[in-house]
Amino acid sequence: MADQFTSFDGTSLAIHTEGEGRPVILLHGLFSSAHMNWIKWGHGQRLAAAGFRAIMLDFRVHGDSAAPHDASAYPPGVLVRDVAALAEHLGLVPGMFDLVGFSLGARTAIHAVAHGILEPRRLAICGMGVSGLAEWERRASFFKRVIDEFDTIKPGDPAYVARTFLKSQGVDRVAARLLLDAMDDFDLTKLATITMPAAAICGSEDDDNGSAEELAAMLPDARYIAVPGSHLNSVTKPEMGEAIVSFLSE
């Protein structure tokens, strides 16, 4: 059962927690959830077994969190503001927690840290490369097409896999469309402000968001860690969780 907290604008968001110890905020991918990315495949349990407290947020429009249809619920940077509200709600002290994100969660984590909104001890960026940050509008256009043409996309269409996943997760498409407009491209020069130890952990066959190796090279103190899989399945494999635990345990 998820706990609920009220974010900055009154929206109810869900938190799933496993373990005790140093807090680790985990942020899931687009159209996914804490359960689908972190709980189902045992990553939360791996962190708990290693002595961490895994705090797994469901973004608004995802999982057990609310999905409002009012456009005012999606101001610019809304997901970063939600994560900041979570850190405040939990009373997390700068430098005394870790931050992990996969795909959309990684984008959100980078925006939050680069703009000085969150100050984690360590940062794990999973399933993300340079183009996924700097070319968000292109990615967003793809997902908007999935939503807008949802009922007519057929097998063989490049958008069919995303459509199938969105359907399987029961995502509210009206709210999801509004959320996509609340995010923008990232200024890559701001990567220089992310000075804590970081890891770009990415599937060896995952180039959906560009080069994770290139992203690691652009950060002041980061390494690239390859794990098995593509963007669709790397997060389902134990090696992803093991890489996160190993990095955060240093």
Taking the chain, what is the end-to-end CA distance rounded to the nearest angstrom?
A: 31
22 phi and psi angles, rounded to 5 deg: -65, 130
- Give the per-residue pLDDT at 184: 86
Residues 187, 131: Cα–Cα separation, whole Å: 11
Cα 118 to Cα 110: distance, rounded to the nearest angstrom: 9
* Residue linked to tokens 């005790």: 20
**pLDDT score for 1:** 65
Measured CA to CA in angstroms, residue 61 lies from 124, 178, 188 at distances of 23, 10, 27
Predicted pLDDT at 139? 85
Burial of 1: CB neighbours in 10 Å, binned 0-12, 13-18, 19+: exposed
CA distance 246 to 250: 7
Report the distance separating Cα 166 and Cα 171, nearest Å: 6
Specify the pTM: 0.96
Question: Domain 3-130+187-248 class?
Answer: alpha beta
Phi, psi of 226 (to 5 degrees): -90, 135
Q: What does the alpha-carbon distance between residue 109 and residue 103 come to, in Å, rounded to a whole number?
A: 10
List the chain pLDDT tens, one digit each, 250 residues: 689 999 999 999 999 999 999 999 999 999 999 999 999 999 999 999 999 999 999 999 999 999 999 999 999 999 999 999 999 999 999 999 999 999 999 999 999 999 999 999 999 999 999 999 998 888 889 999 999 999 999 999 989 999 999 999 999 999 999 999 898 889 999 999 999 999 999 999 999 999 999 999 999 999 999 999 999 999 999 999 999 999 999 9
Q: How many residues does the chain have?
A: 250
What ranges do the domains of the chain cover? 3-130+187-248
